[in-house]
Chain A
Amino acid sequence: MNLFQKIIRWARIKSPWIIHFNTGACNACDIEIVASITPRFDLERFGIQLKGTPRHADVLICSGPVTRQIKDRLVRIYEQMPEPKFVIAVGTCACSGGVFHDCYNVMGGIDGAIPVDLYIPGCPARPEAIIDGVVKLLGTL
């Protein structure tokens, strides 16, 4: 790739901004995601910031089995993110539906609605696992 592309790639790896969205989860994974930003685990040392709007974000961190009501909102949020974008599915429910996989209002994993780049299983996924997953994603960029 040429120099311009190399610079852009360097800038993206150095500090991806994330947006977090809960698609109907029990909140355990969401708490662990927020805990990974707090002093003990400190995801921010990788240059990662939790942003409020999808329009500022590079990475969408999603938890929860997708419920019927939230599916359209999830797709809308994914579409609002600018390219290139990545999706991380945190937690067993986001990967495949988890314990809720056969409930009538639950669609299953997030990859049924939007394409997923990284799966982090766990119920809930520990902050260490989340950090490990995010670093692996950065490594593939």
Chain B
Amino acid sequence: MANEEAIKKEISQRFGMAEESIRVARERRVFCEVGYDAFRGFLEHVCKKMGFAILCTITGQDEGETLSFMYHTARSDGTMLNIKTSVLKSDPRIKTVTDLYPVAISYERELVDLLGAAVEGLPPGKRYPLPDGWPEGQYPLRKDWKPDQLGDMAFPIKGA
């Protein structure tokens, strides 16, 4: 697993992260976590200098007090570096990464719609994936959201 260990070494040395906080799950899978202030610099480095130029997707999660975003980046040799960062749920502002990864635009729109993140710098466009009449302030992927919060927009369940 020399490849993954080399990645681990480079990240921990360059960004002063403890080597134990970087997890090599198996071959070709490295997971790490970065605070949001250092995130942009970190992402630029892995994208431009370490070859992780493919963004597979962004997974947003509701972790109670914070919203976490995992950026799944990959390299042409098949290795994936999954970078997790978090912001407070009360102020979920993050900057767009579409200048580094143009394909991120759909993934960021998903974060806005489903989790209520506020992504700064997104170009104007239609929302995705929720429908047009969706009420404001309702974020389905948050843990505390239940479909009956839609009030009279909630569908009757057929056959139940």
Contact = CB atoms under 8 A, between A and B. Distances in A.
A and B are partners in one complex rather than unrelated chains = yes
Interface in B92-146: 130-134, 140
A108 B132 contact: no
Interface residues of B, number: 14
A51 interface: no
Q: Using C-beta atoms within 8 Å of the partner chain, give the interface range for chain A.
A: 10 to 19
B137 to A, nearest CB: 15
Contacts of A67: 131
A105 to B, nearest CB: 7
A96 interface: yes
Nearest to A96: B159
Contact of B130 (A96, A97, A101, A105): A105
| Chief secondary structure at chain B's binding surface | loop
A68 interface: yes
Interface stretch (B45-53, B59-67, B150-158): B150-158
Nearest to B138: A104
A109 interface: yes
B147 A104 contact: yes
A106 interface: yes
Given A104-B147, A104-B150, A68 B158 contact: no
B1 interface: no
Contacts of A68: 131, 133-134, 155
25 contacts: A68-B133, A68-B134, A69-B131, A69-B132, A96-B159, A97-B158, A97-B159, A101-B157, A101-B158, A101-B159, A101-B160, A102-B147, A104-B147, A104-B150, A105-B131, A107-B155, A107-B158, A108-B155, A108-B156, A108-B158, A108-B159, A109-B159, A111-B158, A112-B155, A112-B156
Interface of B: 130-134, 140, 147, 150, 155-160
Interface of A: 67-69, 96-97, 101-102, 104-109, 111-112
